[in-house]
Structure 1
Amino acid sequence: MAACGWSENDRADSILEPLCFPEDPGGPWGPGGPAMGKEVSLCPLCPESVPLSARERLLQHLLLQHKLVIADVRLIADLPRYLLYWKGRLMEQPITDFCSVIKTNSEGPVEKQEFYFLLCDVLPEDRALREQLQQRRLEEVLAQQEKERNDVSFQRSCMFCSEEFSGNRSLLLNHMNREHSFSIGLPDNIVFCGEFLDLLQSKLDNLQCLYCEKPFRDKTTLRDHMRKKSHRRIRANNQQYDRFYVINYLEMGKSWEEVQSEDDREMLDSGDDDWSDWRSHPVCAVCLFCERQSESTEQIHTHMEETHGFHLHQLKTELTLTFYQQVKLVNFLRRELHQSRCYGCSQRFASKAEVLQHMAATGHVMRLPASSVWDQPQYYFPTYENDGLLCVLSDSEADEDGRDVPVFAEDDSALKDLKESSVLHRLLEPRGGCS
């Protein structure tokens, strides 16, 4: 094999893949985490090693010195463990037993022909290894998430008002959501929360907008920009934040967007066109303000209009609400009323009955706060499980402005504990979400 080592020019000119999720040298689950006990990545073909943060250097070394290419490196959950495994296997058997051999310049002079080796998951052993590493990382992430959910030693100040919070992380996240209209998602969907907040705080300290990443000259200008542009949020498609959401760890190499779209495709491609055994179960919608239920969409809307003076259809037309905005509005109203708070003026009362009396007397039933308050990602999550009213919302108008919709999706199969944080669950079975 070729001698180890490479020049600075080689490092500068050879860029194989960008440094991106899922590998992250700083995370507890990442390369060199506690389970690994190492601080370097080893070359599988020679004694060479590089720091964990220099993954690109190692890949260049494999390509230039050993003619070895590892396919889809960015999808490998733990690259150091992966390389360590293959280092042992390549000491036992020749590389051609595992890799596809690619011959370059095959029709040119023999002296200019080169052979490259491709290691990929077409090989069952490689595929099994990648899946095992993915499963191991998922288990570590879920364990970390559970630890953070139960941690009561969390202590941190708010990024916007410097108020100190101690106890559970949800206190701070809910405060930023409620008081500053800033959301990074429900606490139960987040992992490595401390690192997440550190990253956001460093951007603010560098006078950088959290949404558009634009730098500003001073804090006042930055604050005005984020307020006027409604940039007190993070961009959903910013992959820098992917590692802080548990859903991104569920399947190898798939983001939450891909997981969601794949679920939809599976439903569409099922091939079962026989609907003869379909039995329709009526959806029972519950009034926003009282316990009145109805299986008819029009009946529940008529009830809310005549009894409470609330016109959802009117609001939809006047505010040109899309289907998703209606979902967020309904979930917001449900949450405010459950917390005995008037959504029109934010005044809190001792009971829901007192809130309704106040709203009827002051005319706040049809008085909504600014859209920046309720048009937030956390309100994609229903306040009540099986909320039938969400199922009968009109979706006749598509989202015509083409905006990116920052949906932080949930997956009940892997995040089964999420339902335990819902309002309805706490009502039915007492037990001890955000901006």
Structure 2
Amino acid sequence: MAASMGSKDDFQSVDRPVLEPLLLPDRMDLYDERQRSPRRSVPCMLCDNVFDTVETLNDYLKHLLEEHRFVIADVKLVANFRGYCMYWKERFKQQHVKEFCSEVQTTSTEDGNGYFMLSDILPEDKQLRELLQRRKLEYILETQQKEREDETFCRSCLFCKEQFHGNRSDLFTHMIEDHGFNVGQPDNLVFTSEFLDILEDKLNSLQCLYCEKIFRDKIVLKEHMRKKQHRKINSKNNIYDRFYVVNYLELGKNWENIQKERDIIEPDTEDTESEDEWSGWVEDIEGQAVCLYCKYSSSNADKLRQHMIELHDFDLQEIKRTLNLSYYQQVKLVNYIRRQGHLGICIGCDNKFDSQTVLLDHMHEENHTNKLPHITVWDQPQYYFPTYENDNLLCQLEDEDDGCHGNENVIAEDNPVLDTILSEETIRKEILTS
């Protein structure tokens, strides 16, 4: 296959402001992101046939090739295919396609004739693609700003009956903090109502948002999403790409391309750690307490408690009341669970697992997150001391019986390093200031 470019004279039209001869359509005509407008139908560049490019893009490109021996290079990188086709249709009425296209010779066809290829090698085509990309981004940003200023928004949470009015970000923040459902920063979203419609339809169809499996009823679906921690969307499903502004920033690049480039420049060391290196997951944020079983954190004790109840069936306050635990016994229980998790050991059956993910899946499937061993197993002196530094969950523990055991002394019988007798008041101060 050989390609021959036209001479410089062939592109005399490029030497003048190439986009002045024609007026591009109105911005909303150029880019209808929601793809609900009848304007999505586009005529062939070279004849009177009309195609629905949303549904039959491949048929459109096949028609160009077979009927007109015409190919568009890197068609997936065109920001607004309809606007692109409309522009070139008008240009081809003014001049023959060979004035703009590379002529590619091939022997693969029966008659041996070649075909014309339109690409951004042509400066006019490159300028058009860049303009369409800018217009697209402008439209996205304008739409996003309108959504931020829209005070008529009213929507119920996807997971409970609480309603939110006005600011959309309040709803997404609520779903993150109260239900552990995270779709990323609300400020990075656009077309949020349609986005929520899709998520709600999937849930109503009993489909998991992450693995996209279908379940027999809502109870089973809820349990699956909770136990598997599937309260997130499938980032590999391209249906969600158009709801994230990051996917519109650079021509031909989506969030994956941009993330890979960032990782090359600034590698994320946390992502390269093995799954069983749990020491890295405690967030170094003042006041943030981390869940006993996953990476969720919150400075609000009630929200963290609700998270552990809903996602992990673990209610420390209920356990405290049932077992009549003192403050210090709560401390030891938390530190015991933290230690077992760090070692990859299930608190319910003592089985050891190789990673956090496998351990947590096991504990959810077997309902071992709230199956505590006998109190004598964890009510031990060594568990007075935090498994992790700055474990703010210890600061959120209820201390209703402060002073009841204040005169007790503790002997660390099985740890030679801790063989000094310490008062519980001293231990408590160490815990809260460590």
Which TM-score tier does this pair reach, normalised by the shorter chain? 0.5 to 0.7
What is the 5 A alignment of 1:328-343? 329-331=283-285, 333-334=287-288, 341=301
1:209-243 deviation digits (Å, cap 9, x = unpaired): 10011111221221111111111111233322111
Q: Distance in 1 between matches of 2:289 and 2:143?
A: 28
Contact (CA 8 Å) 1:41, 1:50: kept in 2 or not?
yes
Cα distance change of structure 1 residues 258 and 32 upon mapping to structure 2, 3 Å threshold: closer
Contact (CA 8 Å) 1:29, 1:141: kept in 2 or not?
no
Cα distance change of structure 1 residues 267 and 170 upon mapping to structure 2, 3 Å threshold: closer
Q: Which runs of 5+ in 1 are unaligned?
A: 1-26, 269-315, 348-360, 372-398, 403-435
Give 1:321's aligned residue. Answer: 278
Give 2:159's aligned residue. Answer: 160
Give 2:215's aligned residue. Answer: 216
Q: Distance in 1 between matches of 2:114 and 2:229?
A: 55
What is the 5 A alignment of 1:115-264? 115-263=114-262
Give 2:99's aligned residue. Answer: 97
Contact (CA 8 Å) 1:190, 1:244: kept in 2 or not?
yes
Return the letter of the residue paired with 2:175.
M
Contact (CA 8 Å) 2:287, 2:299: kept in 1 or not?
no
Q: Distance in 1 between matches of 2:224 and 2:50?
A: 46
Give 2:83's aligned residue. Answer: 81
Give 1:61's aligned residue. Answer: 63
Q: Which runs of 5+ in 2 are unaligned?
A: 1-27, 268-272, 291-296, 308-326, 339-354, 359-434
Return the letter of the residue paired with 2:284.
V
1:234-286 deviation digits (Å, cap 9, x = unpaired): 12333221111111111001112212333455689xxxxxxxxxxxxxxxxxx
TM-score w.r.t. length of structure 2: 0.56
Q: Which moved more, 1:150-159 or 1:334-343?
A: 334-343
Contact (CA 8 Å) 1:212, 1:235: kept in 2 or not?
yes
Give 2:321's aligned residue. Answer: none
TM-score w.r.t. length of structure 1: 0.56
Q: Distance in 1 between matches of 2:332 and 2:136?
A: 48
Contact (CA 8 Å) 2:215, 2:221: kept in 1 or not?
yes
Q: Distance in 2 between matches of 1:42 and 1:104?
A: 27
Give 1:298's aligned residue. Answer: none
Return the letter of the residue paired with 1:105.
T
Secondary structure of residue in 1 paired with 2:210? coil
Q: Distance in 1 between matches of 2:134 and 2:178?
A: 38
Return the letter of the residue paired with 2:71.
V
Question: Which of these residues, 58, 66, 73, is aligned with residue 71 of structure 1?
Answer: 73
Q: Which moved more, 1:244-253 or 1:40-49?
A: 40-49
Superposed displacement of residue 114, structure 1: 3.0
Cα distance change of structure 1 residues 231 and 88 upon mapping to structure 2, 3 Å threshold: same
Q: Distance in 2 between matches of 1:192 and 1:32?
A: 9
Secondary structure of residue in 2 paired with 1:114? coil
1:33-87 deviation digits (Å, cap 9, x = unpaired): 79x9834212111122123423333222212211211112121111111001111
Q: Distance in 1 between matches of 2:220 and 2:154?
A: 29
Contact (CA 8 Å) 1:181, 1:232: kept in 2 or not?
yes
Return the letter of the residue paired with 1:62.
L
Contact (CA 8 Å) 2:78, 2:129: kept in 1 or not?
yes
1:87-108 deviation digits (Å, cap 9, x = unpaired): 11111111112112222326x8
Return the letter of the residue paired with 1:169.
R
Superposed displacement of residue 208, structure 1: 1.0
Superposed displacement of residue 334, structure 1: 3.9
Secondary structure of residue in 2 paired with 1:196? helix
Cα distance change of structure 1 residues 318 and 32 upon mapping to structure 2, 3 Å threshold: closer
Superposition RMSD in Å: 3.8
Bigger relative contact order, structure 1 or 2 (CA pairs below 8 A, ≥6 apart) = 1
Contact (CA 8 Å) 1:209, 1:231: kept in 2 or not?
yes
Give 1:12's aligned residue. Answer: none
Q: Distance in 1 between matches of 2:44 and 2:234?
A: 37
Secondary structure of residue in 1 paired with 2:103? strand
Secondary structure of residue in 2 paired with 1:165? strand
Q: Which moved more, 1:85-94 or 1:230-239?
A: 230-239
Contact (CA 8 Å) 1:344, 1:364: kept in 2 or not?
no
Contact (CA 8 Å) 2:30, 2:83: kept in 1 or not?
no
Q: Distance in 1 between matches of 2:91 and 2:44?
A: 13
Contact (CA 8 Å) 2:29, 2:39: kept in 1 or not?
no
Q: Distance in 2 between matches of 1:29 and 1:197?
A: 25
1:366-410 deviation digits (Å, cap 9, x = unpaired): 959x99xxxxxxxxxxxxxxxxxxxxxxxxxxx9999xxxxxxxx
What is the 5 A alignment of 1:257-336? 257-263=256-262, 265=264, 320-321=277-278, 323=280, 325-326=281-282, 329-331=283-285, 333-334=287-288
Give 1:42's aligned residue. Answer: 43
Cα distance change of structure 1 residues 203 and 331 upon mapping to structure 2, 3 Å threshold: farther
What is the 5 A alignment of 1:335-414? 341=301, 345=305, 367=334
Q: Distance in 2 between matches of 1:127 and 1:57?
A: 24
Cα distance change of structure 1 residues 214 and 333 upon mapping to structure 2, 3 Å threshold: farther
Larger Rg: 2
